[in-house]
């Protein structure tokens, strides 16, 4: 909003400069206030990959577009292979310093080729519902790495050969460090609650035998409404 775009380049208004006219030529902020605005979540100014100019980060190597982000947190130089000097060895795309490899390639910089065909890779990673790793993991050479793996190395709440088991479905309120599965009245098996005798519901939250009288039950369901369940349920 501080200039005009001419053939892919910004022509800045008076008082502004930068490739996107994002920096004011005169700053009314103190150095302390400016630096505070430039700190990332770890309290590092411009992630150590740029300089702070009037509360905005100017990233190193900005002309090549390899370092970017509000706090210069994305460094695509991490994607450059030391031997070939190509980004992701030419077999993937880089986003915020991470390589996302084409089918048949893997490794931090997509430097390794899989020894099975892309068709076989897809087949091995396809979950029973027809999705790749159940949309809860990444497929590398025919093996799924699930998104939620417990830091201890044990099974996380998402597991299975194709990440088909999601045990978060067994918890009333999700907390990865909680063992409160199936309301304490059942066993969680691959994301499904198998309830103990006397309990029912998706999360074993309902008792099969109700201790309330018909009148007490109706009163509890009525609340502030004139009808039980507001007339929209049983």
- pLDDT tens-digit readout, 75-125: 898 899 888 889 999 999 998 889 988 878 888 899 888 888 888 989 999
Percent of the chain whose predicted confidence (pLDDT) is above 90: 26
In a domain, 146, yes or no: no
Distances (CA, A) of 107 to 85, 99, 124, 159, 163: 15, 8, 19, 22, 20
In a domain, 19, yes or no: yes
Question: What is the mean predicted confidence (pLDDT) over 8-27?
Answer: 86
In a domain, 197, yes or no: no
Residues 36-77 have pLDDT tens digits of 999 998 999 999 999 998 999 988 875 567 898 889 999 898
How many domains are there within the chain? 1
- Alpha helix (H) residue ranges in the chain: 31-37, 118-125, 214-222
Strand partners, 166: 158
Q: Which domain holds residue 24?
A: 9-57
Contacts of 42 (CB under 8 A, 6+ apart): none
Residue with tokens 């939250």: 205
Do the strands 23-24 and 105-106 form a parallel or antiparallel pair, or are they unpaired?
unpaired
pTM attached to this predicted model: 0.48
In a domain, 20, yes or no: yes
């Amino acid at each position: 909003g501080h200039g005009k775009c001419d053939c892919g380049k910004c022509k800045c208004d008076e008082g502004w400069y930068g490739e996107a006219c994002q920096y004011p030529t005169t700053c009314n902020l103190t150095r302390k206030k400016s630096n505070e605005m430039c700190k990332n979540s770890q309290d590092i100014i411009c992630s150590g990959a740029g300089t702070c100019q009037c509360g905005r980060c100017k990233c190193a190597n900005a002309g090549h577009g390899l370092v970017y982000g509000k706090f210069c947190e994305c460094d695509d130089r991490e994607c450059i292979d030391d031997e070939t000097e190509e980004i992701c060895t030419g077999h993937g795309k880089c986003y915020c310093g991470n390589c996302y490899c084409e089918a048949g390639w893997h490794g931090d910089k997509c430097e390794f080729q899989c020894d099975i065909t892309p068709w076989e890779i897809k087949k091995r990673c396809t979950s029973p519902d027809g999705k790749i790793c159940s949309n809860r993991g990444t497929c590398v050479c025919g093996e799924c790495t699930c998104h939620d793996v417990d830091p201890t190395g044990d099974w996380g709440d998402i597991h299975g050969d194709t990440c088909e088991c999601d045990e978060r479905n067994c918890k009333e309120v999700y907390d990865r460090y909680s063992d409160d599965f199936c309301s304490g009245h059942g066993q969680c098996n691959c994301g499904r609650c198998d309830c103990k005798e006397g309990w029912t519901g998706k999360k074993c939250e309902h008792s099969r035998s109700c201790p309330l009288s018909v009148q007490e039950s109706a009163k509890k369901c009525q609340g502030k409404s004139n009808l039980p369940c507001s007339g929209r349920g049983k």
